[in-house]
Amino acid sequence: MSFSGLLSQLLEILLAVALAPLLSGWVSQCRAWLQGRRAPSLLQPYYLLHKLFNKESVLAEHASPLFRSAPYVKFGCMTLACAIIPTLSTDLPLAPAADAIALVGLFALARVFISLAAMDVGTAFGSMGARREMLIGFLAEPALLMVLFSASLISKSTSLTTIVETLGHRELAIYPGLAFAGVAFTMVSLAENARVPVDNPATHLELTMIHEALILEYSGRHLALLEWAASLKLFAYSCIGLALFFPWGVAEAQAPLAMLLALPVLVGKLAVGGALMALLETLSAKMRIFRVPEFLATAFLLAVIGMLVHLLLAR
């Protein structure tokens, strides 16, 4: 591993960790504008993290080491996911690890730890949120895998870096299968990031909350890490979508200068994607929890149709 490659990999990780709260702030700001409300500051997520890191962490009396370690595990999993997704360059030391199955496994590992931690202290809200979170994960992960497999049929590889290199550096072509996969990925992304219509991150109603129920017992630095990890997860899913459906502008070299030139392109695409997500949330209504399986089953079906369309047209 060369020094330039190590520096480039470190630069990508630092940029992901630094930009993730900014993306969350941008989505919240766009959502407030579209709803006719006064928008919060773009830097509000940073203010929240600063406040939480300076507060004392209060733990439940019967909290086990699992409860204490879960925020660090989830934050580490989301950071590693952002590191292996080709956001700025496809030629990085961790590029060989950017496999679709490994990436979904990272998301699953983080979900299992935070769900077990929510049940650890024995509260009703924690157990309810853990059950709902596992239900969503059980349905969303296969749909995400089908989306990734749809893109892998074009590049003949499940590696995200190979997919980006194949789609981003060939002649512009229309792939009908990717259209179905794109709709499915949007639905999965909304569900996995606790966005409307599946969940509403701005509410604490016990009948509807999923993500908030998992972290009700956390405070201080532990809550800060979980909020930061949620922003990193949104950043990771956004970058997966850009890598699969809008791969243009990603550098091919390990040179930090080439990655800095690719940074404005990434920021522009994330800004457009965040505004579109806010628009989707504004136009959608929160659905009942019992309708979520139908929502994610539709996403899975669309991803499978995308694969079948590509196989039929490839003959």
15-29 pLDDT tens trace: 999 999 999 999 999
User: Helix 176-192 vs helix 256-283: angle between axes, to the nearest 10 degrees?
Assistant: 80
* Residues β-bridged to residue 71: none
Q: Where in the chain does DSSP place strands (E)?
A: none
pLDDT in tens, 202-235: 776 666 678 888 888 899 999 999 999 999 999 9
DSSP label of 67:
H
Contact 198, 191 (CB under 8 A): yes
Average pLDDT score over residue span 236-259: 83
Q: Looking at this protein, which amino acid is placed at residue 154? A: I
State residue 187's pLDDT score.
94
On the CB side of 279, CA atoms within 13 Å amount to 7
- 276/242 Cα distance (integer angstroms): 13
State residue 186's pLDDT score.
95
Task: Give the global pTM.
Answer: 0.94
Contact 122, 62 (CB under 8 A): yes
- 98/217 Cα distance (integer angstroms): 34
Give percent of the chain above pLDDT 90.
Answer: 54
pLDDT in tens, 264-314: 999 999 999 999 999 999 998 888 888 999 999 999 999 999 999 988 887
Is the confidence at residue 97, as pLDDT, over 80? no
State residue 107's pLDDT score.
95
Q: What is the mean pLDDT of the chain?
A: 89
